Chains A and B, each alone.
Chain A
């Protein structure tokens, strides 16, 4: 086991070195400012208590974790810890802290900061994410070594230490923040966060812009041995309207923007002044089906029958959906897991076959189809496109789809109440491990498999075993079986994966977005 870990460690280090810097980094310009437009502002920059991607995706620029996800999202690389080792029984992890690391205020990173930060992050009373560190029983520090003693072997603990909520904060500064309770202190601290990340907050005008300044104490170095980051200043501007963001980019008022609508990608690709980037993501779009025997009103649910759900999958031409909604930028889902997830197992899922769909519906007792409904997000063009196509295709096999457009909070409330027939859904992973999405999508006890009431006891058992399985081959086999069983039972209509579409002016380079969504600006720069 130890050898495996070390080998994996070496492989990861090599990968890390290879992708530490963009090609041609010798030409990187130091200094200056980059302005990046975001569709929405961050809400709460506390790694433990935040709830949304608008926070998670930028936290990496302020805070570091002991380990960091690799650029391909499949593994981990050194972060504030330079090495890590799992004991033979899998019940202890020892990490070696990087020496000489300082927080952005110049104070040294101490082992006690690590213990305190992880204790705070794993406190079940704090935050929605504490579950990722739940296997930790005790954390001890001795010199530059930090040892996590686990309640049980946990294959997810290493990627969990590379996930945003395990960020290391300066205990003293946090505790010195004004406020009577820990939550008040968190609020105050998150207004002027101090971490060991490449940047530090200079100013934040909510809903308008956030200015991050270079952290002079940042530990990471560029290939030339000089300190990162390259930029003196990184400005996030909040521009909610897609069209306005692109106009600003074309006018040269900003250097880059996130969330380019698929319909504009080709146009930007053809613009010689710009560079369209499509980063591999963990984003999947699918339709969740309620699988319980009856609906809330007591009426029987045709979707309870696996054959019906399979039929609905066969009746969707995914290539057509991808062609129309994503203009060919997406690719069909090959598992419920995004293809950039570790232990992803590719399958050919429900190739378009309306005849087979009709046959399955007949076998299930619905030769003339049935009527059903779907909750979708009002104002979301992609979902509207998807559903218009799906509605038409299902119509051809006799299934009539009623589309209910609601806002997100309404959709979520009805989802939690399990008061829906179908709903539109999308997912991105937060951790380089299949367990997070599996715990929501396939493992019943957590949230009734996406509140669908779909339950496969074998899947539940496999998942429980896999959560303590430290033999990679065994865990791979468990995940293969989970993915096979999930695909056959089809509690969702599998649609597509899409990349993260971002665009930059030609002069602005070095940005990285990893499949988990994290925006990395440490090696970004703007040529003069």
Chain B
């Protein structure tokens, strides 16, 4: 399949995925014990107040009727109103999405920037001290819990050295980046460890391939062999890994966003689940599903660029 065809097919595939996920989330949200009213009114409500509010929210309608309303809404591009915050869900999600996207993108960029050169060094120096050192340091990154790393970074670089603000998001792009750098580093640390280990193993594998011997025997300079032939081929599996990891990174953002007080969708999702805010849970899941689908698509495109055989 050519590139354009693949993009079109993938975009079409998103539609049924979208619907299936929508239905599953709709049902799952309602299978959770409790409902928005029990989450909102807490312990202070009488049965009368609960019934009244359930009625006002349309929760006393049959589930299929609620589902039809939900699907009808999506068709019109409406996700309804947040039951907890009483504001339109679309506006809420659009307000929160940029922070998470920026955080995830920054973290991915940092992770790749850190991991790729180091994996290259580790693989080409396999078994020697640079390799051992790099692997040992990344082992620590991989095994540290995100919230703990986050707090340590905040304590040292924000509260201590004052290089960064202690959490928040700021206004304007420059401030956003300044605020997001520490949380992105937090996320990138464990992610870069994963990329580094994967890429190092992959490079070691490619180094033993016959085409590498051939390239060397042709008399190509070592730099050209390593960059053009080894790294390019080794990166194939890493690109897949990075693409697949976007979902996990969005999940990790939930914790990071709480520790760093970043107003992203991760935190919104957790708050909404606790509040049984069905419309927000549904909308966020769908939006995240689309983002992950698009990340997969991007992965395929990068792979095609790296290995043109895939595009044929």
Instruction: Compute how far the CA of A478 lies from the CA of B276 in the bound complex, rounded to whole angstroms.
Output: 40
Given the known inter-chain contacts A207-B268, A251-B158, A416-B50, please indicate yes or no for A51 contacting B41, CB distance below 8 A.
Answer: yes
Instruction: Compute how far the CA of A128 lies from the CA of B41 in the bound complex, rounded to whole angstroms.
Output: 8
Is A207 a contact of B96 with CB atoms below 8 Å?
A: yes
Instruction: Compute how far the CA of A206 lies from the CA of B154 in the bound complex, rounded to whole angstroms.
Output: 24
Interface residues of B in 257-279 (CB under 8 A from A): 258-261, 263, 267-268, 271, 273-276
Interface residues of A in 234-273 (CB under 8 A from B): 237-241, 243-244, 247-248, 250-251, 253
Is B165 a contact of A253 with CB atoms below 8 Å?
A: yes
Is B39 a contact of A412 with CB atoms below 8 Å?
A: yes
Instruction: Compute how far the CA of A237 lies from the CA of B262 in the bound complex, rounded to whole angstroms.
Output: 11
Residue of B41, B50, B162, B261 touching A244 (CB-CB under 8 A): B261
Tell me, yes or no, whether B86 is within 8 Å of chain A by CB: yes
Instruction: Compute how far the CA of A51 lies from the CA of B263 in the bound complex, rounded to whole angstroms.
Output: 23
Instruction: Compute how far the CA of A248 lies from the CA of B47 in the bound complex, rounded to whole angstroms.
Output: 42
Mark interface residues in B82-106 (1 if CB within 8 Å of A CB, else 0). Answer: 0011110000100110000000000
Contacts of A238 in B (CB 8 A): 261, 263
Given the known inter-chain contacts A125-B52, A128-B41, please indicate yes or no for A241 contacting B258, CB distance below 8 A.
Answer: yes
Residue of B95, B259, B261 touching A205 (CB-CB under 8 A): B95
Residue of B86, B165, B260 touching A187 (CB-CB under 8 A): B86
Contacts of A355 in B (CB 8 A): none
Contacts of A477 in B (CB 8 A): none
Tell me, yes or no, whether B45 is within 8 Å of chain A by CB: yes
Tell me, yes or no, whether B6 is within 8 Å of chain A by CB: no
Contacts of B38 in A (CB 8 A): 409, 412-413, 416
Instruction: Compute how far the CA of A40 lies from the CA of B38 in the bound complex, rounded to whole angstroms.
Output: 18
Contacts of A416 in B (CB 8 A): 38, 47, 50
Contacts of B77 in A (CB 8 A): none
Tell me, yes or no, whether A43 is within 8 Å of chain B by CB: yes
Tell me, yes or no, whether A175 is within 8 Å of chain B by CB: no
Contacts of A250 in B (CB 8 A): 159
Given the known inter-chain contacts A240-B261, A409-B274, please indicate yes or no for A248 contacting B50, CB distance below 8 A.
Answer: no
Instruction: Compute how far the CA of A414 lies from the CA of B56 in the bound complex, rounded to whole angstroms.
Output: 22
Is B263 a contact of A205 with CB atoms below 8 Å?
A: yes
Is B151 a contact of A243 with CB atoms below 8 Å?
A: yes
Is A208 a contact of B263 with CB atoms below 8 Å?
A: yes
Is A244 a contact of B34 with CB atoms below 8 Å?
A: no
With both beta carbons as reference points, the residue of chain A lying nearest to B262 in the complex is identified as A208
Contacts of B259 in A (CB 8 A): 241, 243-244
Contacts of B86 in A (CB 8 A): 43-44, 187, 190
Interface residues of A in 381-411 (CB under 8 A from B): 406-411
Interface residues of A in 424-464 (CB under 8 A from B): 425, 427, 430, 440, 446-447, 450
Is A440 a contact of B263 with CB atoms below 8 Å?
A: no
Given the known inter-chain contacts A128-B44, A239-B167, A416-B50, please indicate yes or no for A409 contacting B154, CB distance below 8 A.
Answer: no
With both beta carbons as reference points, the residue of chain A lying nearest to B164 in the complex is identified as A251
Tell me, yes or no, whether A140 is within 8 Å of chain B by CB: no
Is B85 a contact of A44 with CB atoms below 8 Å?
A: yes
With both beta carbons as reference points, the residue of chain A lying nearest to B162 in the complex is identified as A251
Contacts of B165 in A (CB 8 A): 253
Instruction: Compute how far the CA of A40 lies from the CA of B271 in the bound complex, rounded to whole angstroms.
Output: 9
Tell me, yes or no, whether B169 is within 8 Å of chain A by CB: yes
Is B39 a contact of A409 with CB atoms below 8 Å?
A: yes
Q: How far is the CB of B36 from chain A (nearest CB, A)?
A: 8
Interface residues of B in 30-60 (CB under 8 A from A): 32-35, 38-47, 49-50, 52-53, 56
Contacts of A251 in B (CB 8 A): 158-159, 162, 166
Interface residues of B in 163-177 (CB under 8 A from A): 165-169
Contacts of B271 in A (CB 8 A): 40, 207
Is A412 a contact of B261 with CB atoms below 8 Å?
A: no
Contacts of A218 in B (CB 8 A): none
Contacts of B40 in A (CB 8 A): 51-52
Contact residues of B with A, CB < 8 Å? 32-35, 38-47, 49-50, 52-53, 56, 81, 84-87, 92, 95-96, 151, 154-155, 158-159, 162, 165-169, 258-261, 263, 267-268, 271, 273-276
14 contacts between A and B (CB under 8 A): A40-B271, A128-B49, A207-B96, A207-B263, A208-B263, A241-B167, A247-B151, A247-B158, A253-B166, A409-B34, A409-B35, A416-B50, A447-B47, A450-B43
Assuming A205-B263, A240-B261, A247-B151, what are 11 further A-B pairs, CB within 8 angstroms?
A187-B81, A207-B96, A240-B267, A247-B155, A248-B159, A408-B274, A409-B35, A412-B34, A414-B33, A427-B43, A440-B44
Contact residues of A with B, CB < 8 Å? 40, 43-44, 51-52, 125, 128, 131, 183, 187, 190-191, 205-208, 237-241, 243-244, 247-248, 250-251, 253, 406-416, 425, 427, 430, 440, 446-447, 450
List 9 tightest A-B contacts by C-beta distance, closest first.
A409-B34, A413-B34, A409-B39, A410-B33, A128-B49, A412-B38, A239-B261, A208-B263, A248-B166
